[in-house]
Amino acid sequence: MKSLIGAGAGFAAASAGACQRNATLDVELESTLGQPLTGASLNSAFADVGRAPTPQQYASSYNNFYEFGGSKNIWSSAQALPTDPWRLEVTGLVKKPATYDLDDLTQRFTLEERIYRFRCVEAWAMVVPWIGFPMKALMAAVEPTPAAKFVRFSSYYDPQVCPGPGLSLRNLPWPYTEGLTVAEMANDLAFFAVGVYGRTLPKQHGAPIRMVVPWKYGFKGAKSIVKIDFVAEQPATYWNTLAPNEYKFEANVEPEVPHPRWSQAKERLVGESTSLFTWEEQPTVIYNGYGEYVAGLYG
């Protein structure tokens, strides 16, 4: 059975450790993994995180995408996401508002590959080779005004397409929104991903474009973005609206600050087993190991 590892630079060695899964699952999952995305060179500054990338069959079949369900096994249902045509509107407090289509997202900005740690507030972790472009490249194109202090990212939502997480006893604040400060968005690490593992971004990862902010918990990475607004005031965000005591706006990885219901001092590395309790465990690192880039943002 063939490995589901992509062909992009920087992570081929991970295929040596790829484990076999059910043959039917592998064939079905393979069909969701996007098309080859060429021309993106590996950024050497973000090539080594101290461990091998997570094999793609695990990273692409263990996903959070609340619009398509509350479990991690949403990769199949997420295929209902319509991605062509696509429009990404950038507006608000900018001098040059713009709208980008599907081709623009892979052709208007210089693409590169970056291998980043990925850390969930639920205390599991991966290493993922993303393809995309720095957020500051888009900022340079639209030119935020001095009045812009925050950025709001809105995800695709259509109640006829997105079933949500199932039974809920309260109204959920759709569409999914996330936010950063303008300074966070301008940071060297902040990234828009349009691909992963050498291919275009699969729908379960948030095709065709998603946020990647590796020093923060994963829920900050809004998927399937349709609108970016530069605003003067801190925007409401999805999880911070639902449970502000559990999901802070900043959402930085801080091992000494526990979630109200569990510790953040350790994390488990997603792997072969379907049970997170059997995955390798390791200590969590402040800012997910990216303190040299971001600590100055927070005094």
pLDDT at 276 over 80: no
pLDDT exceeds cutoff 80 at 5:
no
pLDDT tens column, 205-261:
999 999 999 999 999 999 999 999 999 999 999 999 999 999 999 999 999 999 999
The predicted pLDDT at position 278 comes to: 84
CATH of the domain at 151: 3.90.420.10
In a domain, 162, yes or no: yes
Residue 2 domain flag: no
Q: Who has greater pLDDT, 21 or 256?
A: 256
Residue 64 lies in a domain: yes
For 225, the 3-state DSSP assignment is strand
User: For residue 4, is it within any domain?
Assistant: no
* Domain carrying residue 101: 12-298
The answer to whether residue 69 is domain-embedded is: yes
The tally of domains found in the chain comes to 1
pTM score of the predicted model: 0.91
Render pLDDT for 86-129 as a digit per residue (tens, 0 to 9): 999 999 999 999 999 999 999 999 999 999 999 999 999 999 99
* Burial of residue 103 (number of CB atoms within 10 Å: 0-12, 13-18, 19+): exposed
pLDDT value at residue 166: 82
As a whole number, the mean pLDDT across the chain is 91
At residue 41, the pLDDT reads 96
Is the pLDDT confidence value at 11 over 60?
A: no
- 6 belongs to a structural domain: no
The answer to whether position 146 is within a domain reads yes
Give the pLDDT confidence of 58-86 residue by residue, as tens digits. Answer: 999 999 999 999 999 999 999 999 999 99
Residue of 117, 128, 42, 126 lying closest to 289 (CA atoms)? 117
Q: Domain for residue 1, yes or no?
A: no
What is each CA distance from 181 to 141, 185, 276, in whole angstroms?
Answer: 18, 6, 33
Is the pLDDT assigned to residue 20 strictly greater than 90?
no
CB contact at 8 A, 286 and 255: yes
